[in-house]
Amino acid sequence: MNGWLLAAAVVLTGGLGAALWGVATGPLRRRAVAQNLATVLAGSGLLLLAQGYDRPSYLDLALVLALLGPVGTLVFARLLADDLAADPPRARAATWATVGVAAATVAAVCAATGPGRAMGKLLVTGALLIGGNLIASRALSGGFGGVRGG
Amino acid sequence: MIAVALLLVAASATAAVATRDPARQALVLSVLGVVLAVLFTTLQAPDVGLSQLAVGAALTPLLLLLTVRKVRRRPRREEDPR
């Protein structure tokens, strides 16, 4: 068990555990936000796991999650729009804290990888993870008025 | 590492079973899918994890929510909720 795996364990237990608590209890808006943040935290955990096991091909998992996580959240934002519009979620602090964790993870793994193609892939994954999360949380809080209804 | 992932899977699966409202259950199920993908990664099976991500994170909640929507709309149209 090296330091990367330890960091992955900390991110997964602390972050995903908290997200799980958020998604299992409380009002619908908190559940939706927690589901969104869970994908980002799991993505960071997968990045750390790939580095910990020293298998760069495991990065594909984080890349796919970075692509599909926001899609899943947008599905919820679209189909639960009526419930969420009555009680829009606001979780700016939690969102930015999670984005901070993801950015720190990407930076650390980048520093360990060194320049090259692998680092480019890492940066793309991190950008997708963070950008997708920000777009999804904005959609959840009703930032895109035009896509509502129907 | 495997123990951590197993614990998370057990916790999220229990939460999914304990949730009654289908829409909220879909949210928990989506998290469960992601956690299962993490478990498969720790078990050195990233290919299984990939398909689990695709199915668990996006497809299952989509199907569930579409079904819930259809079922909820029907009584309103017939104006005869049984």
Q: How many other C-beta atoms are found inside a 10 Å radius of the C-beta of residue B80?
A: 7
Average pLDDT of chain B is: 87
Residue A50 lies in a domain: yes
Residue A150 lies in a domain: no
B5–A contact, CB cutoff 8 A: yes
B50-65 pLDDT, tens digit each: 999 989 888 998 999 9
Into how many domains does chain A fold? 1
B60–A contact, CB cutoff 8 A: no
Residue A93 lies in a domain: yes
Q: How many other C-beta atoms are found inside a 10 Å radius of the C-beta of residue A47?
A: 31
- Find out whether A122 and A110 touch, Cβ atoms under 8 Å: yes
d(CA A141, CA A136): 9
Residue A148 lies in a domain: no
> Taking the model in full, what pTM does it have?
0.87
- Find out whether A41 and B38 touch, Cβ atoms under 8 Å: no
Q: Report whether pLDDT(A39) > 60.
A: yes
Residue A126 lies in a domain: yes
Check A24 against B18: CB less than 8 A apart: yes
> What is the three-class DSSP state of A44?
helix
Check A83 against B23: CB less than 8 A apart: yes
Residue A101 lies in a domain: yes
Residue A86 lies in a domain: yes
Check B46 against A57: CB less than 8 A apart: yes
> What is the three-class DSSP state of A89?
coil
Residue A149 lies in a domain: no
ipTM value for the complex: 0.86
